[in-house]
Protein backbone atom coordinates (compact mmCIF):
# COMPACT_ATOMS: atom_id res chain seq x y z
CA UNK A 1 0.00 0.00 0.00
CA UNK A 2 1.29 3.47 -0.82
CA UNK A 3 2.24 5.35 2.31
CA UNK A 4 0.50 8.73 2.60
CA UNK A 5 2.54 11.78 3.58
CA UNK A 6 -0.24 14.21 4.39
CA UNK A 7 -2.65 15.06 7.20
CA UNK A 8 -4.53 12.64 9.42
CA UNK A 9 -7.87 13.05 7.66
CA UNK A 10 -6.53 12.00 4.26
CA UNK A 11 -4.54 9.19 5.83
CA UNK A 12 -7.78 7.75 7.22
CA UNK A 13 -9.40 8.03 3.78
CA UNK A 14 -6.46 6.28 2.16
CA UNK A 15 -6.67 3.39 4.63
CA UNK A 16 -10.39 3.02 3.93
CA UNK A 17 -10.01 3.08 0.18
CA UNK A 18 -7.25 0.48 0.09
CA UNK A 19 -4.22 0.31 -2.15
CA UNK A 20 -3.60 3.16 -4.56
CA UNK A 21 -4.59 2.33 -8.11
CA UNK A 22 -2.88 3.75 -11.17
CA UNK A 23 -4.66 6.03 -13.61
CA UNK A 24 -6.62 3.29 -15.32
CA UNK A 25 -10.35 3.22 -16.13
CA UNK A 26 -12.33 1.16 -18.61
CA UNK A 27 -13.18 3.77 -21.23
CA UNK A 28 -10.37 4.68 -23.60
CA UNK A 29 -9.49 7.84 -25.49
CA UNK A 30 -10.39 8.31 -29.15
CA UNK A 31 -6.78 9.08 -30.11
CA UNK A 32 -3.64 7.78 -28.45
CA UNK A 33 -4.44 7.40 -24.75
CA UNK A 34 -2.74 10.00 -22.60
CA UNK A 35 -1.30 9.62 -19.11
CA UNK A 36 -0.56 12.36 -16.56
CA UNK A 37 1.65 10.32 -14.23
CA UNK A 38 -0.50 9.88 -11.11
CA UNK A 39 -1.80 7.15 -8.84
CA UNK A 40 -5.36 7.82 -7.75
CA UNK A 41 -7.75 6.68 -5.02
CA UNK A 42 -11.49 7.21 -5.70
CA UNK A 43 -13.24 8.86 -2.71
CA UNK A 44 -17.03 8.88 -2.67
CA UNK A 45 -19.40 10.28 -0.03
CA UNK A 46 -19.66 7.04 1.92
CA UNK A 47 -15.86 6.72 2.22
CA UNK A 48 -15.60 10.30 3.45
CA UNK A 49 -18.41 9.80 5.97
CA UNK A 50 -16.94 6.56 7.29
CA UNK A 51 -13.52 8.20 7.63
CA UNK A 52 -15.06 11.14 9.49
CA UNK A 53 -16.69 8.82 12.02
CA UNK A 54 -13.42 6.96 12.54
CA UNK A 55 -11.66 10.26 13.08
CA UNK A 56 -14.17 11.28 15.76
CA UNK A 57 -13.34 8.08 17.65
CA UNK A 58 -9.56 8.31 17.27
CA UNK A 59 -7.97 8.43 20.73
CA UNK A 60 -4.47 9.68 19.89
CA UNK A 61 -5.61 13.16 18.80
CA UNK A 62 -5.98 16.24 20.95
CA UNK A 63 -9.30 18.07 20.85
CA UNK A 64 -7.63 20.83 18.83
CA UNK A 65 -6.19 18.38 16.28
CA UNK A 66 -9.53 16.61 15.92
CA UNK A 67 -11.36 19.92 15.42
CA UNK A 68 -8.86 20.93 12.71
CA UNK A 69 -9.22 17.63 10.85
CA UNK A 70 -13.02 17.74 11.07
CA UNK A 71 -12.93 21.29 9.73
CA UNK A 72 -11.22 19.89 6.60
CA UNK A 73 -13.87 17.20 6.23
CA UNK A 74 -16.64 19.77 6.19
CA UNK A 75 -15.10 21.30 3.06
CA UNK A 76 -14.13 18.13 1.18
CA UNK A 77 -16.07 16.82 -1.81
CA UNK A 78 -16.05 13.44 -3.55
CA UNK A 79 -13.22 13.14 -6.04
CA UNK A 80 -9.98 11.40 -6.94
CA UNK A 81 -7.27 11.52 -4.29
CA UNK A 82 -3.74 11.90 -5.69
CA UNK A 83 -1.81 9.18 -3.85
CA UNK A 84 1.31 9.83 -5.90
CA UNK A 85 2.44 12.26 -8.60
CA UNK A 86 5.47 10.84 -10.41
CA UNK A 87 8.37 13.27 -10.22
CA UNK A 88 8.79 15.28 -13.44
CA UNK A 89 5.61 13.72 -14.85
CA UNK A 90 2.90 15.93 -16.41
CA UNK A 91 0.91 16.28 -13.18
CA UNK A 92 4.00 17.02 -11.07
CA UNK A 93 5.23 19.66 -13.53
CA UNK A 94 1.80 21.30 -13.59
CA UNK A 95 1.78 21.64 -9.79
CA UNK A 96 -0.34 18.73 -8.50
CA UNK A 97 0.98 16.98 -5.46
CA UNK A 98 0.24 14.09 -3.15
CA UNK A 99 -2.92 14.78 -1.14
CA UNK A 100 -4.71 16.85 -3.78
CA UNK A 101 -8.30 15.82 -4.60
CA UNK A 102 -9.37 16.17 -8.22
CA UNK A 103 -13.02 17.26 -8.28
CA UNK A 104 -13.53 18.23 -11.93
CA UNK A 105 -12.06 17.55 -15.37
CA UNK A 106 -12.41 20.26 -18.03
CA UNK A 107 -14.98 22.07 -15.91
CA UNK A 108 -17.22 19.04 -15.31
CA UNK A 109 -17.61 17.60 -11.81
CA UNK A 110 -20.25 14.96 -12.71
CA UNK A 111 -22.15 15.79 -9.48
CA UNK A 112 -19.56 13.98 -7.39
CA UNK A 113 -19.76 10.68 -9.30
CA UNK A 114 -16.14 9.51 -8.92
CA UNK A 115 -16.62 6.77 -11.51
CA UNK A 116 -17.63 9.25 -14.20
CA UNK A 117 -14.88 11.62 -13.07
CA UNK A 118 -12.30 8.85 -13.46
CA UNK A 119 -13.71 7.86 -16.82
CA UNK A 120 -13.43 11.45 -18.04
CA UNK A 121 -9.82 11.58 -16.92
CA UNK A 122 -9.03 8.29 -18.65
CA UNK A 123 -10.34 9.66 -21.96
CA UNK A 124 -7.39 12.05 -22.09
CA UNK A 125 -5.33 12.04 -25.27
CA UNK A 126 -1.62 12.63 -25.76
CA UNK A 127 -0.91 16.34 -26.18
CA UNK A 128 -4.49 17.50 -25.48
CA UNK A 129 -4.60 19.76 -22.41
CA UNK A 130 -6.72 18.87 -19.40
CA UNK A 131 -8.01 21.51 -17.00
CA UNK A 132 -8.25 20.03 -13.51
CA UNK A 133 -9.87 21.56 -10.44
CA UNK A 134 -8.44 20.24 -7.18
CA UNK A 135 -8.99 20.65 -3.45
CA UNK A 136 -5.83 20.97 -1.35
CA UNK A 137 -6.29 20.56 2.44
CA UNK A 138 -4.12 22.85 4.56
CA UNK A 139 -2.66 22.13 7.99
CA UNK A 140 -4.85 24.80 9.59
CA UNK A 141 -8.02 22.98 8.51
CA UNK A 142 -8.77 25.17 5.52
CA UNK A 143 -9.09 23.76 2.00
CA UNK A 144 -7.80 25.60 -1.08
CA UNK A 145 -9.44 25.26 -4.49
CA UNK A 146 -6.84 25.32 -7.28
CA UNK A 147 -6.90 25.11 -11.08
CA UNK A 148 -4.16 23.25 -12.99
CA UNK A 149 -3.58 22.66 -16.70
CA UNK A 150 -1.96 19.30 -17.47
CA UNK A 151 -0.77 17.98 -20.83
CA UNK A 152 -0.91 14.14 -21.00
CA UNK A 153 1.92 12.09 -22.51
CA UNK A 154 2.11 8.54 -23.84
CA UNK A 155 2.34 5.55 -21.50
CA UNK A 156 5.94 4.72 -22.36
CA UNK A 157 7.05 8.19 -21.18
CA UNK A 158 5.32 7.71 -17.82
CA UNK A 159 6.70 4.16 -17.49
CA UNK A 160 10.21 5.47 -18.14
CA UNK A 161 9.81 8.16 -15.49
CA UNK A 162 8.57 5.55 -13.00
CA UNK A 163 11.55 3.31 -13.80
CA UNK A 164 13.98 6.21 -13.46
CA UNK A 165 12.56 7.11 -10.06
CA UNK A 166 12.69 3.46 -8.93
CA UNK A 167 16.25 2.87 -10.16
CA UNK A 168 17.70 6.15 -8.94
CA UNK A 169 19.11 6.16 -5.38
CA UNK A 170 16.91 8.32 -3.19
CA UNK A 171 18.54 11.64 -2.34
CA UNK A 172 18.09 13.36 0.98
CA UNK A 173 15.84 16.21 -0.17
CA UNK A 174 16.26 18.03 3.15
CA UNK A 175 19.92 18.73 2.35
CA UNK A 176 19.76 21.15 -0.55
CA UNK A 177 22.66 22.99 -2.18
CA UNK A 178 22.48 24.85 -5.49
CA UNK A 179 24.63 27.25 -7.48
CA UNK A 180 22.39 26.71 -10.56
CA UNK A 181 25.32 25.89 -12.86
CA UNK A 182 23.80 22.59 -14.04
CA UNK A 183 20.28 23.98 -14.55
CA UNK A 184 18.90 24.94 -17.96
CA UNK A 185 18.73 28.68 -18.59
CA UNK A 186 15.43 30.54 -18.98
CA UNK A 187 13.64 27.90 -16.88
CA UNK A 188 12.78 27.35 -13.23
CA UNK A 189 14.26 24.14 -11.72
CA UNK A 190 11.56 21.55 -10.99
CA UNK A 191 12.14 21.55 -7.21
CA UNK A 192 10.84 25.12 -7.00
CA UNK A 193 7.38 26.68 -7.30
CA UNK A 194 6.56 30.39 -7.70
CA UNK A 195 3.66 32.02 -5.85
CA UNK A 196 2.44 35.53 -5.12
CA UNK A 197 1.18 37.08 -1.89
CA UNK A 198 -1.18 39.95 -2.65
CA UNK A 199 -2.54 41.40 -5.86
CA UNK A 200 -0.68 41.71 -9.15
CA UNK A 201 1.09 39.15 -11.31
CA UNK A 202 3.04 36.09 -10.21
CA UNK A 203 6.66 36.93 -11.01
CA UNK A 204 8.81 34.80 -13.30
CA UNK A 205 11.81 33.18 -11.60
CA UNK A 206 14.39 31.74 -14.00
CA UNK A 207 17.99 30.59 -14.16
CA UNK A 208 20.07 32.91 -16.31
CA UNK A 209 23.68 33.64 -17.12
CA UNK A 210 25.12 36.66 -15.34
CA UNK A 211 28.57 38.16 -15.78
CA UNK A 212 28.74 38.95 -12.06
CA UNK A 213 27.51 35.58 -10.76
CA UNK A 214 28.69 34.79 -7.22
CA UNK A 215 30.11 31.44 -8.30
CA UNK A 216 30.26 30.10 -11.84
CA UNK A 217 28.28 31.81 -14.58
CA UNK A 218 24.61 31.32 -13.68
CA UNK A 219 22.19 32.67 -11.07
CA UNK A 220 18.52 32.35 -10.17
CA UNK A 221 16.73 35.65 -10.72
CA UNK A 222 13.25 37.05 -10.23
CA UNK A 223 12.83 38.51 -13.69
CA UNK A 224 11.65 42.12 -13.99
CA UNK A 225 8.63 41.93 -11.67
CA UNK A 226 6.04 44.65 -12.22
CA UNK A 227 4.24 44.39 -8.88
CA UNK A 228 3.67 47.24 -6.44
CA UNK A 229 3.02 47.88 -2.75
CA UNK A 230 2.43 44.95 -0.43
CA UNK A 231 2.76 42.31 -3.16
CA UNK A 232 5.39 39.68 -2.44
CA UNK A 233 7.16 37.49 -4.99
CA UNK A 234 7.51 34.06 -3.39
CA UNK A 235 9.58 31.07 -4.49
CA UNK A 236 9.26 27.84 -2.48
CA UNK A 237 11.55 24.79 -2.36
CA UNK A 238 8.88 22.08 -2.62
CA UNK A 239 10.44 18.71 -1.69
CA UNK A 240 11.00 19.18 2.07
CA UNK A 241 9.73 20.79 5.25
CA UNK A 242 12.00 21.96 8.05
CA UNK A 243 11.61 22.31 11.81
CA UNK A 244 15.09 23.36 12.99
CA UNK A 245 17.43 24.39 10.17
CA UNK A 246 20.05 26.67 8.75
CA UNK A 247 19.57 28.42 5.44
CA UNK A 248 21.97 30.52 3.39
CA UNK A 249 21.66 32.49 0.17
CA UNK A 250 23.85 34.96 -1.67
CA UNK A 251 21.77 37.77 -3.15
CA UNK A 252 22.41 40.83 -5.28
CA UNK A 253 19.90 43.65 -5.72
CA UNK A 254 19.90 44.33 -9.47
CA UNK A 255 17.13 46.91 -9.74
CA UNK A 256 13.88 48.19 -8.29
CA UNK A 257 12.39 51.67 -8.08
CA UNK A 258 9.92 50.91 -5.30
CA UNK A 259 11.79 48.13 -3.51
CA UNK A 260 15.16 46.37 -3.62
CA UNK A 261 16.80 43.25 -2.27
CA UNK A 262 15.09 40.14 -0.95
CA UNK A 263 15.59 37.30 1.46
CA UNK A 264 14.84 33.83 2.76
CA UNK A 265 11.40 32.43 3.58
CA UNK A 266 10.95 29.91 6.40
CA UNK A 267 8.02 28.18 8.08
CA UNK A 268 6.07 28.36 4.79
CA UNK A 269 2.54 26.95 5.13
CA UNK A 270 0.94 28.59 2.10
CA UNK A 271 1.24 31.82 0.14
CA UNK A 272 -0.42 33.77 2.94
CA UNK A 273 1.37 32.30 5.96
CA UNK A 274 5.15 32.20 6.43
CA UNK A 275 8.12 34.10 7.89
CA UNK A 276 10.89 36.11 6.19
CA UNK A 277 14.38 37.39 6.86
CA UNK A 278 15.22 39.98 4.21
CA UNK A 279 17.72 42.72 3.40
CA UNK A 280 16.91 45.98 1.61
CA UNK A 281 19.71 48.22 0.23
CA UNK A 282 17.20 50.98 -0.56
CA UNK A 283 16.11 51.22 3.09
CA UNK A 284 19.48 50.24 4.57
CA UNK A 285 18.18 47.55 6.91
CA UNK A 286 17.67 43.84 7.49
CA UNK A 287 14.37 42.72 8.99
CA UNK A 288 12.46 39.70 10.20
CA UNK A 289 8.77 39.53 9.37
CA UNK A 290 5.95 37.07 9.84
CA UNK A 291 3.13 36.95 7.30
CA UNK A 292 -0.21 35.91 8.78
CA UNK A 293 -3.24 35.60 6.52
CA UNK A 294 -1.42 37.66 3.90
CA UNK A 295 -0.58 40.55 6.26
CA UNK A 296 3.09 41.28 7.03
CA UNK A 297 4.06 41.99 10.65
CA UNK A 298 7.54 43.18 11.64
CA UNK A 299 9.32 41.13 14.31
CA UNK A 300 12.73 42.86 14.37
CA UNK A 301 14.91 45.27 12.40
CA UNK A 302 18.56 46.32 12.32
CA UNK A 303 20.02 49.20 10.33
CA UNK A 304 22.91 48.09 8.11
CA UNK A 305 24.79 49.97 5.40
CA UNK A 306 23.99 48.12 2.18
CA UNK A 307 24.77 48.87 -1.46
CA UNK A 308 22.77 47.88 -4.56
CA UNK A 309 24.35 45.68 -7.23
CA UNK A 310 26.66 43.97 -4.74
CA UNK A 311 26.66 40.40 -3.42
CA UNK A 312 25.71 39.79 0.21
CA UNK A 313 25.46 36.46 2.00
CA UNK A 314 22.40 36.17 4.22
CA UNK A 315 22.45 33.30 6.70
CA UNK A 316 19.75 32.32 9.17
CA UNK A 317 19.64 29.61 11.82
CA UNK A 318 16.49 28.50 13.64
CA UNK A 319 16.18 26.21 16.62
CA UNK A 320 12.83 25.93 18.38
CA UNK A 321 11.40 29.47 18.68
CA UNK A 322 14.76 31.24 18.25
CA UNK A 323 16.03 32.73 14.98
CA UNK A 324 19.57 34.11 14.55
CA UNK A 325 20.55 36.12 11.47
CA UNK A 326 24.01 36.73 10.01
CA UNK A 327 25.28 38.96 7.21
CA UNK A 328 28.54 37.97 5.50
CA UNK A 329 29.40 35.78 8.49
CA UNK A 330 28.74 38.47 11.11
CA UNK A 331 25.99 37.90 13.66
CA UNK A 332 23.36 40.65 13.77
CA UNK A 333 22.63 41.21 17.45
CA UNK A 334 19.35 42.96 16.81
CA UNK A 335 18.12 39.98 14.80
CA UNK A 336 18.55 37.27 17.45
CA UNK A 337 14.88 36.86 18.28
CA UNK A 338 12.38 34.46 19.76
CA UNK A 339 8.79 34.20 18.56
CA UNK A 340 6.23 31.47 19.09
CA UNK A 341 5.35 31.78 15.40
CA UNK A 342 8.81 30.43 14.53
CA UNK A 343 7.92 27.04 16.07
CA UNK A 344 5.83 25.91 13.12
CA UNK A 345 7.40 23.44 10.73
CA UNK A 346 7.32 24.50 7.09
CA UNK A 347 9.07 24.85 3.77
CA UNK A 348 11.97 27.16 2.92
CA UNK A 349 12.27 29.49 -0.04
CA UNK A 350 13.24 32.87 -1.47
CA UNK A 351 11.42 36.20 -1.48
CA UNK A 352 11.34 39.70 -2.97
CA UNK A 353 8.84 42.53 -2.73
CA UNK A 354 7.00 44.53 -5.40
CA UNK A 355 9.33 45.44 -8.30
CA UNK A 356 12.60 44.26 -6.73
CA UNK A 357 14.67 42.41 -9.34
CA UNK A 358 17.20 40.30 -7.43
CA UNK A 359 19.73 37.58 -8.27
CA UNK A 360 20.28 34.59 -5.94
CA UNK A 361 23.21 32.18 -5.88
CA UNK A 362 24.85 29.57 -3.62
CA UNK A 363 21.62 28.57 -1.85
CA UNK A 364 21.89 26.07 1.02
CA UNK A 365 19.04 24.56 3.07
CA UNK A 366 19.79 21.92 5.74
CA UNK A 367 18.13 20.64 8.89
CA UNK A 368 19.89 21.19 12.19
CA UNK A 369 20.80 18.02 14.06
CA UNK A 370 18.84 17.39 17.21
CA UNK A 371 20.99 17.86 20.34
CA UNK A 372 22.01 14.57 21.93
CA UNK A 373 21.11 13.88 25.53
CA UNK A 374 24.19 13.16 27.58
CA UNK A 375 23.74 10.93 30.61
CA UNK A 376 26.41 10.09 33.11
CA UNK A 377 26.99 6.45 33.90
CA UNK A 378 27.70 5.07 37.35
pLDDT, position 165: 56
Q: Is 29 or 240 the better-scoring residue by pLDDT?
A: 240
- pLDDT tens digits, residue range 125-172? 998 999 999 998 877 778 889 998 999 988 888 777 766 655 656 678
CA distance 47 to 41: 11
Q: What percent of the chain has pLDDT over 70?
A: 86
Model confidence band, residue 3 (pLDDT cutoffs 50, 70, 90): very low
Q: Is 141 or 180 the better-scoring residue by pLDDT?
A: 180
- pLDDT tens digits, residue range 4-28? 333 434 443 443 343 333 444 444 4
Model confidence band, residue 324 (pLDDT cutoffs 50, 70, 90): very high
**Domain annotation for the chain: domains and CATH numbers:** 8-167 (2.30.42.10), 176-367 (2.60.120.560)
pLDDT, position 280: 97
Instruction: Flag whether the pTM goes above 0.75.
Output: no
- pLDDT tens digits, residue range 350-362? 999 999 999 999 9
pLDDT, position 304: 96
Residues 298-326, mean pLDDT to the nearest whole number: 96
pLDDT, position 129: 92
Residue 229 has pLDDT above 60, yes or no: yes
Q: What percent of the chain has pLDDT over 90?
A: 52
Amino acid sequence: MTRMQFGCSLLVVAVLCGSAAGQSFRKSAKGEKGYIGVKLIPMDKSALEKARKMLEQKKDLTDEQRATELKSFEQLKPGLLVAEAIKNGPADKAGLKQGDIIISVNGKGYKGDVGKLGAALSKSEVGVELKLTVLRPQKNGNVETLEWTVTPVDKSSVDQLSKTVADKPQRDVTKFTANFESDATDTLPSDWKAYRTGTGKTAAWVVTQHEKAKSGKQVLVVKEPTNKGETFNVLVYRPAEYEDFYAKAALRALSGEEDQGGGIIFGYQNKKNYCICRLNPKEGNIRIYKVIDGQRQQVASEDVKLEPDRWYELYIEKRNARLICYLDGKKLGGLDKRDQHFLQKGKLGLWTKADACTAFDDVVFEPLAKPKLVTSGK
